[in-house]
Amino acid sequence: MRKILAGLFLLGFFHNDALANTVVPNFTRGTITSETTSHTEIVETIKQIEYTTGTSYTVTGTNINIPGNPQPGANYTIVTPGAPFQFSETYLGPGVAKETWIERTTTTDSTTNSLSVFTQ
């Protein structure tokens, strides 16, 4: 009998502790502010190399006798001796024709501010 009474007492004891009280907030209004900042840095390196696989030979000039099919090492002659002349000869063989290297850094800084207002 004692065990039953003790068990009922404990059951009642725990039962009373399990009851919850109502929570009533004690504020009527409020605000929350926040600020978020970020910093981003992007580093880029661009390397471009252009190659030629053939050859290119160009001859230009004024007061110069240039045959219809110019060849490297050909003998070009002045049309009017003693008169001014201009001569240009360009040969481009296979290999690297052009190199482009770009290095750049892009930096972005941002700040976001927010405000929340609440009332009861």
Tens-binned pLDDT, residue by residue, of the chain (120 aa): 555 545 545 555 555 555 677 877 676 788 899 999 999 999 999 999 999 999 888 999 999 998 888 888 888 899 999 999 999 999 888 999 899 999 999 999 999 999 999 887
What pTM does this model have?
A: 0.39
Give how far Cα 10 sits from Cα of 4, 6, 7, 36, 111, Å: 10, 6, 5, 53, 59
- The two structure tokens encoding residue 28: 């009527």
- Do the beta carbons of residue 25 and residue 118 sit within 8 Å? no
